[in-house]
Amino acid sequence: MQHIQERKMLNSLLWLSFCMSFFMIQGCKSNGSEQNHQTFELNILHINDSHSHLDESTIQLQLKTAEDTREPIQVNYGGFSRVAALFKQLSVQLPNTLKIHAGDALVGDLYFKIGRGEAEAKMMNSICFDSFTLGNHEFDNGDTALLKFLNDLEQSSACPTKTAVLSSNVVFGEGSALYQSNRVQPYTVIEKQGQKIGLIGVTTAFKTKHSSRPDTNTEFLDELASVQAAIDVLKAQGINKIVLQSHIGYQEDLNLIRQLDGVDIVIGGDSHSLLANENLSDYGFSPQGPYPTIAQDKNGRRVCVAQAAQYAYVVGQLNIEFDDQGHVLKCGGRPHILLGDRFQRVGNTPVLSAEELDFIHQDIQQSGSLSIVQPDAEADAILAPYRSAKILFGQQNVAVATTNFCLRRVPGTWRDINRSALGDVCNQNSFTHQHGGDIQQLVAEAYLKQGQRYFQANISLINGGGVREDIAQGDINVDKVYRILAFDNTLVQLNMYGHELKAMLEDAMQAVLNGQTGSYPYTAGMTWQVDLNQPLGQRVSHIQIRDAQNQLQALDLNRMYKLITINFLADGQGSYHTLSTIRGDRRIDVGLDYTEAFLQYLEDLPLNNGTRYLGPLDVTYYSTQGFIDAAP
C-alpha cells in the first residue's frame, strides 16, 4: 500500500513538472487532448440609406388582434430618434460594439433642402458612429457640398472619437474641394478588447459617376480591385478580422464576396434591402433575404452579410464569433424594425380593446424582427429646431400656376373620372377626356428633365395613380408638392428595347381593362394612341419617341432606350410585369426621391420679376395623343 501511494505521489510530481515545463507552449490540461482556443465576440449595430428621413412615419401592419385574426393596424414607424435610442441601449448591453452607417445619409426629405446635411450630421453625432461609408447620394451636389457635410459631421461632434469616413475606390480629382485631403480614407482600424478590426469602405462606382454629380475629375475605381487591395494591406499588418462597409447593393455584395479573399463581414447599403426571417411576410413585409445572409469568399471561408432596409426604419444587430485565427465561427443577430407604441385600427374604429392590444404586443415579441422603441429625448431635442424650420419651409411658395392642372387617372368619359378636387372643371373637361391628367403629364415631364440631367434619359414613366392631387391656379408651396407625390418612391433607370417599351404599355392597358385605373401610363419623351377595343398587343399604336432635336420619330423596336421611372413600377407593381424583367446591368437604382425631383423641376423654372410661373404643356407633349375607350 505504501509503495502504491509513493508511486501516485511520484506520478503527480512528474505531471506537475511536465506542466510547468511546457505550459507556455500548450497549456496545462489534465487530459492532454485539447488546446486552449480563445474566441472573440464582435457586435455590429448598423443602418444604411437613411436619406435625410429624420422624422417618424406611419405604417399599416398585419397584426394579431385575436388568436386566429390578423388585421391592418396603424402604428408610428422609424425616425432617427428611435435609431439613437436603440443604439444607446444595445451599446451598453453588448460587448465589443461597432456602430456603422453604410452610406446615403443625405437627400430624400426636406431636411436636406433646408440645411444641406446639417441636421443629418447632428443626428448622426447623437449616435457617434464609428464609421460611415460614402454612398452615391453623398455626391449629388458635387464635391464641395460633400465637404460641407463632412465639416458639419466633424464640427458638430462631441463624440469621444470622430466618425471615420470611408471609401476605398474614390479618387478626388484635381480641382475637387477634397483633392489630396485625408478626409476620406480607404479603411480604418479599430481596437476592441485587444483585437484589431479593419473596416473598409466601398462606393458604387458606375452609378455614382453617371447618376450622381461628383466633380468631373473625381473618379470611382473598380470595386473588386479596390477592396481586395485594402484587404491585402490590412492582412499585411497582421489584421485578421475585416469588415467591408459596402454601398453597392445586396446582390452585388454577394457577387463581390465570391471574388474576394479575406473579408469576414459585409455591412451593406444602396439596394435598401430588408433582410429578415420569412415570417415577416405575415406582417406585411417582403424580406429580400435572411438576416444575416451567410456567403462564402473565393476560398470557401464563411462571410456574414447584413443590411438594414432604409429611411431609419430599421437597425441591424449583427453578432459574430471569431476563432483565434480570425475565422468566423458563427454569426447571428436580427433586424429591429422600429415601432412606436400607439396602435389603432385604420380610422380608429372600433377602438382596440385591452385584450386586442395584448395580442398585438405578444405578436410583436414573437416576430423576431419588430421592436417597440421609445424615441431618445436628447436626439429629439437636437432635431426640434430643424423640424420647426422644415414646417416653415413647407409653407414657402415655389411657383405660381397660371392655370389649373387637372388630376385624372385615365382619359375618357367614364373610368374613374371624379377624383379631381377641383370638381367638374376637371372631371368634365373635354381636353382631359382626350389626353388624361395634366398634373400626371407634368410630373412625367419633370422626371424626364431629371433623367436627362443625370444619365441622358430618353423617356420617363409615371402611373396615373402615383399622383394624388390637382394643382389649382395660384400659389404652389412645398407642402403641396409633397401632397401631390405622397409615397416613398425613388427614381430608377431602366435600359429597355423598343419592343419592351411596347409590351410595357400593353401591360398597363390590360391592367386598366381589369379595373386598375391607377396603372394608366403617362410618359414624357414618348407619345401614342390607344384603342381599348383592340386585342392585347394591339391596343397601343403610333408610338413615337422625341429625339435630341425635339422631333418625333417612330419607335424602333430593336433599339435600346433609357427610361426613368419609379421603383414601384420598376419592381413590376401596378401590373407593369415587363418592367420587372429588366434586371442586372440594365437596371440602375438612381435613388433620387421622386418628390424631390418634381420640386427641383419647379425650382428650375425661370424667374420673371422674382416669381416662377408654371404654365401648361403644349398638347404635343402629352403622351396620349388619341384615346378610344371600350364600352362600359
Q: What is the 3-state secondary structure (H, E, C) of 163-192?
A: CEEECCCEECCCCCCCCCCCCCECEEEEEE
What span, in angstroms and rounded, lies between the C-alpha atoms of 494 and 582? 7
Angle at 212 between CA 208 and CA 216, to 5 degrees: 85
Judgement on whether residues 357 and 383 belong to the same structural domain of the protein:
yes
For residue range 377-393, list pLDDT tens digits in order. 999 999 999 999 999 98
At residue 454, the pLDDT reads 81
Report yes or no: 173 and 218 within 8 Å, Cβ to Cβ.
Answer: yes
What span, in angstroms and rounded, lies between the C-alpha atoms of 254 and 226? 16
pLDDT at 23 > cutoff 60: no
Q: For residues 305-317, give the mean pLDDT.
A: 96
Judgement on whether residues 211 and 357 belong to the same structural domain of the protein:
yes
pLDDT at 27 > cutoff 50: no
For residue range 354-371, list pLDDT tens digits in order. 999 999 999 999 999 999
Domain of 526, CATH number, reads: 3.90.780.10
pLDDT at 56 > cutoff 80: yes
Distances from the Cα of 28 to the Cαs of 37, 38, 40, in angstroms? 13, 15, 22
What span, in angstroms and rounded, lies between the C-alpha atoms of 128 and 101? 10
- Report the domain count for the chain: 2
For β-strands 624-628 and 526-531, DSSP reports them as: parallel
Kindly state the cell numbers that stand for 205. 462606382
Residue reference for cell 464569433: 321
Structural domain that includes position 540:
395-628
Judgement on whether residues 149 and 241 belong to the same structural domain of the protein:
yes
Could you tell me if residue 13 is inside a domain? no
Percent of the chain with pLDDT over 90: 78
Of the three residues 391, 424, 459, the one that is the final residue of a domain is 391
For residue range 458-503, list pLDDT tens digits in order. 999 999 989 988 999 999 999 899 888 877 788 999 999 999 999 9
Tell if the pTM clears 0.85, that is, is over it. Answer: no
Report yes or no: 485 and 595 within 8 Å, Cβ to Cβ.
Answer: yes
For residue range 339-356, list pLDDT tens digits in order. 999 999 988 789 999 999
Residue reference for cell 402611373: 463
What span, in angstroms and rounded, lies between the C-alpha atoms of 369 and 339? 11
At residue 20, the pLDDT reads 39
Report yes or no: 194 and 151 within 8 Å, Cβ to Cβ.
Answer: no
At residue 299, the pLDDT reads 97
Could you tell me if residue 24 is inside a domain? no
At residue 372, the pLDDT reads 98
Judgement on whether residues 274 and 365 belong to the same structural domain of the protein:
yes
For residue range 164-184, list pLDDT tens digits in order. 999 999 999 999 999 999 999
